[in-house]
């Protein structure tokens, strides 16, 4: 019997990549408005090349970008980028449709809910609070809690310990088969592939369930 549900955060509860793309485009446009001499398409490619090397959560991405493109960090252009990025991020950071209804119905069923994310702890909490869904969760396990990224079993173990449930009593819901599904399966948990948030071409591991909409979870449980 399932007593708890663990969710990934980005692209499972939040349409994170859509927000990221919009915010990055706004930051690039702002830097160009501030005097950066580079075509927008070329700037976007260079910025994403850096992201893919160092990760989407790097807080100094625009400094690295400006240094690579111009050889130094112009703090006026940097400020333009950061302000534009933050404004766009706040405006477009939303949960997927149906997330709040689903979480409410799961809580009404008496299920414990948790987050296991690779995001840094403060960023995870900022996203949850910004979307006003933080109160739904009994446990939030972020990067600093174990120092390990999924599919390591350590983040899952930490969540299960705090939830006080066994792996067989827990369902993991996530958009990344290579991280969320594999890591949870190693622990002996039930798994649900959030197909709607998947950006890849093909799955690399089978899950117990697949959903095309988060609200489908209610009928599964």
Res. 56: pLDDT tops 70: yes
Domain boundaries, the chain: 4-14+95-220, 17-92
Omega of the bond prior to 101 within 30 degrees of 0, cis? no
Res. 202: pLDDT tops 70: no
What integer pLDDT is reported at residue 18 of this predicted model?
85
Architecture of domain 17-92: Orthogonal Bundle (1.10)
Whole-Å CA distances, 92 to 84, 87, 105, 128? 12, 9, 25, 14
Is 192 or 56 the better-scoring residue by pLDDT? 192
Q: In this predicted model, what pLDDT tens digit does every residue of 6-41 receive, in sequence order?
A: 999 999 999 888 888 899 999 999 999 999 999 999
Q: What is the CATH number of domain 4-14+95-220?
A: 3.40.50.1000
Mean pLDDT across 121-142: 94
């Amino acid at each position: 019997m399932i007593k708890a549900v663990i969710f990934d955060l980005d692209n499972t509860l939040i349409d994170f990549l859509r927000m990221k793309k919009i915010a990055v485009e706004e930051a690039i446009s702002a830097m160009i408005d501030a005097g950066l001499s580079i075509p927008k398409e070329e700037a976007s490619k260079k910025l994403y090349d850096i992201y893919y090397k160092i990760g989407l959560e790097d807080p100094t991405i625009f400094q690295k970008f400006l240094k690579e493109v111009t050889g130094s960090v112009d703090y006026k252009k940097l400020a333009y980028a950061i302000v534009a990025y933050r404004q766009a991020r706040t405006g477009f950071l939303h949960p997927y449709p149906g997330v709040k209804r689903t979480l409410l119905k799961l809580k009404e069923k008496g299920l414990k809910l948790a987050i296991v994310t690779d995001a840094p702890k403060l960023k995870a909490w900022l996203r949850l609070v910004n979307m006003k869904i933080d109160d739904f969760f009994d446990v939030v396990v972020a990067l600093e809690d174990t120092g390990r990224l999924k599919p390591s079993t350590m983040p899952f173990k930490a969540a299960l310990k705090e939830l006080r449930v066994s792996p067989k009593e827990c369902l993991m819901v996530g958009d990344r088969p290579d991280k969320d599904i594999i890591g949870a399966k190693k622990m002996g948990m039930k798994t649900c592939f959030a197909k709607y948030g998947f950006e890849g071409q093909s799955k690399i591991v089978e899950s117990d369930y697949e959903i095309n909409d988060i609200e489908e979870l209610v009928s599964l449980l």
